[in-house]
């Protein structure tokens, strides 16, 4: 879902008979819907069943994909992309199910593998999406997504047991609306600020609204008995600093998606571009996605031996190392390939460690909501990266024929930001306090004791 429409970005205005500014909502709508639903889906999973919410998430993805596959109009496409975004809570829900269902000795490696898929899917999805878009009608992208979603839906419905763990409480509808309003007010100007102007009344007004909404939302969450997000748990140092690390790692990860692809596809006339097609660029970056998956069991073993905090620090520093290489060596395809593999390896280590830290610090009945909030922080980091990198690359340009293109210096500035974000993630991870008695997140569920 993250990279599905990337091959179509330049063609979307023509395909949907709209302007480039309006076509960008095809990406923004999914981002906003995913950010809003992720913590809400986690909370609903804790209350009403994680398998049930997972099935609903996949059904929404299938419905959204079919809707997009059947249309060539912007309005219907946006509706479909919003439905796809509403499925983004699937992986946090799945991570929580693993904690509930698996025996203790298998939880760490299973969660590490599943967490790594958040990076793997985007990495391997890009070349496949580009290939489909290149050889077939663009609607085939969405039919493919619908088919994969339907397959997952059938498998979950027929194979996966429902967790016995429940949080008996009334759903906090007011809190959900407040969180949605706050996130939209925050992420909308982050993603559209470059188009609207960073000092425009609309951009500044939405940022101010986000501050006020989150202030009153936080006060409300602290007062009610069963809040959507337990801010007291979220404020625990182990949860707080893990979430801050998640945000900065999300920033660093998305920087690779933006900059490496552009470098590979830029024409040789720029002096730095390698002139590859979208398909070839995607194939060059694909090994980094597989490295994320291959290193997830390594991350689990490191976490079991030294603790997930140490693994998160190592992963963040490996990400920084990859961008340091990119800062100095990006003149050949193999150099970008190696840099992407190093960054991908760091992301695999870091992503796999985060759920273990979160679940080691929250009650068993709140794992869905806590994992959802952690995934949300990654989304916020990715959104901020898209905005920052976009501003940098749009500011440092040079003429190439009738258009302006980013300079090599512009790309190096983005790498410097990514290095800073990765180092900051390592600092946040270092501030996570050690637990005295191991990770609570690996405790098996006593299904006779916990009643639905």
pLDDT of residue 452: 42
φ, ψ at 399 (rounded to 5°): -75, 140
Task: Round to whole Å and give the CA distance between 444 and 424.
Answer: 33
Write down the domain spans for the chain.
Answer: 6-164+228-436
pLDDT of residue 397: 85
pLDDT of residue 102: 85
pLDDT of residue 346: 92
What six digits make up the tokens of 336?
């970008």
CA distances from 275 to 27, 46, 117, 429, 451 (A): 25, 49, 29, 39, 59
Closest CA to 2 of 184, 179, 229, 258: 258
Task: Round to whole Å and give the CA distance between 254 and 421.
Answer: 11
What six digits make up the tokens of 204?
């500044």
What six digits make up the tokens of 221?
């969450």
CB 86 within 8 Å of CB 180:
no
Give the architecture-level CATH label for domain 6-164+228-436.
Up-down Bundle (1.20)
Please spell the DSSP secondary structure of 314-374, one letter per residue. Answer: HHHHHHHHHHHHHHH--SSHHHHHHHHHHHHHHHHHHHHHHHHHHHTTS-GGGHHHHHHHH
CB 91 within 8 Å of CB 37:
no
Closest CA to 346 of 310, 321, 371, 375: 321
Q: What does the pLDDT profile of the chain (452 residues) look like in tens digits?
A: 777 887 787 788 888 988 877 887 888 888 888 888 888 888 888 888 889 999 999 999 999 999 999 999 999 999 999 999 899 888 888 888 888 888 888 887 788 788 777 767 777 777 888 888 888 888 999 999 999 999 999 999 999 888 777 777 788 889 889 988 998 898 888 878 877 888 999 999 999 999 999 999 999 989 988 888 788 888 888 889 999 999 999 888 887 877 888 898 888 888 888 988 888 888 888 888 788 878 877 888 888 888 889 999 999 999 999 999 999 988 899 999 999 999 989 988 888 888 888 877 777 767 777 877 888 888 888 878 877 887 888 888 888 888 788 899 999 999 999 999 999 999 999 999 876 434 444 444 444 334 44
Task: Round to whole Å and give the CA distance between 350 and 16.
Answer: 38
pLDDT of residue 318: 96
Q: Which pairs with CB-CB distance under 8 Å and at least 24 residues apart come from 229-233? A: 229/39, 229/43, 229/175, 229/179, 229/369, 229/373, 230/366, 230/369, 233/361, 233/362, 233/363, 233/366, 233/370
Residue carrying structure tokens 């299904």: 447
pLDDT of residue 248: 94
CB 35 within 8 Å of CB 373:
no
What six digits make up the tokens of 197?
């102007």
Please spell the DSSP secondary structure of 362-411, one letter per residue. Answer: S-GGGHHHHHHHHHHHHHHHHHHHHHHHHHHHHHSEEEETTEEEE-HHHH
Element (H, E) at 143: helix 139-159
């Amino acid at each position: 879902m993250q990279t599905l429409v990337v091959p179509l970005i330049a063609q979307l205005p023509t395909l949907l008979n709209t302007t480039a500014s309006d076509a960008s909502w095809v990406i923004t709508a999914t981002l906003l819907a995913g950010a809003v639903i992720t913590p809400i889906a986690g909370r609903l999973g804790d209350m009403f069943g994680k398998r049930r919410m997972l099935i609903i998430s996949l059904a929404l993805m299938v419905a959204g994909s079919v809707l997009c596959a059947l249309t060539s109009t912007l309005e219907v496409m946006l509706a479909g992309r919003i439905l796809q975004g509403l499925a983004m809570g699937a992986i946090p829900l799945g991570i929580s199910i693993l904690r509930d269902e698996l025996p203790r000795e298998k939880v760490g490696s299973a969660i590490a593998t599943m967490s790594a898929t958040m990076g793997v899917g985007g990495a391997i999805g890009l070349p496949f999406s580009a290939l489909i878009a290149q050889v077939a009608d663009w609607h085939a992208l969405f039919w493919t997504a619908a088919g994969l979603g339907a397959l997952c839906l059938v498998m979950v419905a027929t194979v996966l047991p429902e967790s016995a763990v429940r949080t008996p409480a009334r759903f906090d509808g007011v809190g959900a609306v407040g969180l949605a309003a706050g996130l939209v007010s925050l992420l909308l100007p982050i993603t559209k600020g470059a188009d609207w102007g960073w000092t425009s009344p609309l951009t500044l007004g939405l940022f101010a609204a986000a501050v006020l909404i989150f202030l009153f939302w936080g006060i409300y969450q602290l007062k009610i008995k069963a809040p959507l997000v337990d801010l007291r748990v979220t404020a625990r140092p182990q949860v707080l600093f893990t979430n801050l690390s998640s945000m900065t790692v999300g920033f660093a990860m998305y920087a690779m998606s933006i900059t490496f692809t552009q470098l590979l596809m830029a024409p040789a006339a720029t002096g730095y571009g390698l002139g590859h097609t979208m398909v070839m660029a995607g194939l060059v970056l694909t090994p980094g996605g597989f490295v994320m998956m291959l290193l997830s069991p390594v991350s689990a073993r490191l976490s079991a031996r030294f603790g997930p905090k140490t693994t998160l620090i190592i992963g963040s520093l490996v990400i920084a190392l990859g961008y340091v290489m990119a800062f100095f060596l990006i003149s050949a395809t193999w150099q970008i390939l190696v840099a992407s593999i190093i960054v991908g390896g760091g992301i695999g280590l870091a992503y796999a460690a985060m759920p273990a830290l979160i679940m080691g610090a929250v009650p068993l009945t709140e794992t869905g909501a806590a994992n959802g909030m952690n995934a949300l922080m990654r989304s916020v980091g990715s959104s901020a990266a898209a905005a920052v990198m976009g501003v940098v690359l749009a500011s440092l340009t040079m003429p190439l024929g009738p258009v302006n293109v980013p300079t090599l210096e512009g790309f190096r500035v983005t790498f410097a930001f990514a290095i800073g974000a990765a180092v900051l993630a390592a600092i946040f991870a270092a501030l996570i306090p050690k637990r005295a008695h191991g990770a609570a997140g690996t405790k098996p569920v006593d299904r006779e004791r916990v009643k639905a």
